[in-house]
Amino acid sequence: MTPALPFVLIAPLVAALLLVLVPNWRVASWLNVGACAVTLAAALTLFTAKPAATAMLVLDAFNVTLIALTAFVGLTTSVFSASYIGHEVASGKLNPLRLRFYHAMYQAFLFTMLLALSANNLGVLWVAVEGATLTTVLMVSLYRTAASIEAAWKYFILCGVGIALALFGTILIYLAAQPVMGPGLAAMTWTRLLADSAKIEPNILNLAFVFLLIGYGTKVGLAPLHAWLPDAHAEGPTPISAVLSGLLLNVALYAVLRFKMLLAANGATMAPGPLMMVMGLSSLFLAGLMLYRRRDIKRFFAYSSIEHMGIIAFAFGIGGPLANFAGLLHMAMHSLTKSAIFYAVGHAVQAKGTQKIDGIRGLTVSHPALGWGLLAGVLAIAGLPPFGVFMSEFLLITNTFARQPLLALVLVLGILLAFGALVLRVQQICFGAPTGESHPIHGTLAPLYAHLALVLLAGLWLPGPLVAWFQTVAAMLG
């Protein structure tokens, strides 16, 4: 194993331990940025590494780009977080003593996500996803208000139940693999399981996948397991909303897809696609309807995340090279776009002093750079050209029309339903006479525009190596 992959994990873990000891929150904020930069630099070296898998860690075509994406969004969010947290301290909303804990948990959160993405052991994968839950629960409750503590408890309880179901599914996989591979690490090692999946009892694999889909699907935010997500976004610090939507949902879906690959390698198992399509379309329609009733801007975009995870789950459910390609592209585009939107939302909430949409009107007049940036982000996430989300949705819709025309009509209807709500709300937020308070923006808008530039570039041109990666992984997913 190349030292680069362990270093990707060691950097955030060491940073988390060190940041606990830093008393000055300003210094800790920028040390947090520096640690994320080191992690990203290490992650980028993985593209040239060809390490052999170990019993604990694996680097393959599926996870290398997700690791780099996670490190990149972690860095840009840490830059946004530095100014955001400074404003919250200055306004008296956050106690400086709590921020030593906040920055340490931020790095611990990155560590758990990167560990989950690189784990070759199913138990390590489960522990990492559970660790990501615990660290974000603590950050969601950072404000220590009644609403934030309630949101944290709801998140903890619902995701705790989900992760317990995922544990039961993991145990079933181990029990099914033991007769083929014997007891010990081999029966928990992803690469060994995939190679011998055809020999494993298919009925146990089927049962295990149902538990794993429900368990990890809770973390993905798929309906009807989504109830924790809007509260966690609305009550926690906005940087945490950015990484929850932009990163954690991807990690949980990655876990589901790893197990879907096991079923695909065993020709006697059930087809997991219909289950994923049903949950995906349910999430799409639920979120599309709920978007019309949201009056809190962070809750509004939380439901948008549920919508897009539904689209991605549907893409992987219908399967095939083109639909899988579209799902992978949509995962990347949603991560970049939704985190950018939350950067803009964080600045807007601080500038206007409220999370209520009625109090955040006329942003293009009162704060032009912020308002136009938020408008671009919403148009991108709504699926308009020339942004990358349009490309992924176009590929998915055309492929579905070619294979399942009736399902394609349902998919288009759900996307249009959500599109109407996004257009309605963005007009209220960005245009018209400004309402409420109007404070200057604190911090840089560079993370927002950097993400938007990448999403725009992806809509116009995808680099050859990235296309090759999508094609390789799409073939792996079956």
The structure tokens listed for 128 are 């990492």
Residue spans per domain, the chain: 273-478
Q: Apex CA 247: angle with CA 138 and CA 133, to 5°? A: 30
How many whole angstroms separate alpha carbon 241 and alpha carbon 247? 10
pLDDT recorded at residue 61: 85
> For the chain, what's the residue count?
478
**Which of 372, 379, 358 is closest to 430 using CA atoms?**
372
How many whole angstroms separate alpha carbon 220 and alpha carbon 382? 20
pLDDT recorded at residue 3: 65
* CB-CB neighbours of 355 under 10 Å: 19
- 0.85 surpassed by pTM: yes
How many whole angstroms separate alpha carbon 160 and alpha carbon 459? 38
How many whole angstroms separate alpha carbon 200 and alpha carbon 186? 13
Q: Identify whether 386 is preceded by a cis peptide bond (ω within 30 of 0).
A: yes
Residues 6 or more apart whose CB falls under 8 angstroms from that of 163 comprise 126, 129, 130, 133, 215, 218, 219
The structure tokens listed for 387 are 């942004």
Q: Under a CB-based contact definition with an 8 Å cutoff, are residues 215 and 169 in contact?
A: yes
The structure tokens listed for 177 are 């693999």
What pLDDT digit, counting tens, does each position of 211-266 carry?
Answer: 999 999 999 999 888 889 999 988 889 999 999 998 999 999 999 999 999 998 88
Residues 6 or more apart whose CB falls under 8 angstroms from that of 173 comprise 122, 193, 204, 205, 208, 212, 259, 262
How many whole angstroms separate alpha carbon 310 and alpha carbon 257? 14
Q: Under a CB-based contact definition with an 8 Å cutoff, are residues 215 and 165 in contact?
A: yes
pLDDT recorded at residue 336: 97
Q: Convert the chain into a string of H (helix), E (strand) and C (coil).
A: CCCHHHHHHHHHHHHHHHHCCCCCHHHHHHHHHHHHHHHHHHHHHHHHCCCCCCCCECCCHHHHHHHHHHHHHHHHHHHHHHHHHHHHHHCCCCCHHHHHHHHHHHHHHHHHHHHHHHECEHHHHHHHHHHHHHHHHHHHCCCCCHHHHHHHHHHHHHHHHHHHHHHHHHHHHHHHHHHHHCCCHHHHEHHHHHHCHHHCCHHHHHHHHHHHHHHHHHHHCCCCCCCHHHHHHHHCCHHHHHHHHHHHHHHHHHHHHHHHHHHHCCCCCCCCHHHHHHHHHHHHHHHHHHHCCCCEHHHHHHHHHHHHHHHHHHHHHHCCHHHHHHHHHHHHHHHHHHHHHHHHHHHHHHHHCCCEHHHCCCHHHHCHHHHHHHHHHHHHHCCCCCCHHHHHHHHHHHHHHHHCHHHHHHHHHHHHHHHHHHHHHHHHHHCCCCCCCCCCCCCCCHHHHHHHHHHHHHHHCCCHHHHHHHHHHHHHHC
* Residue numbers in the chain where pLDDT is lower than 70: 1-4
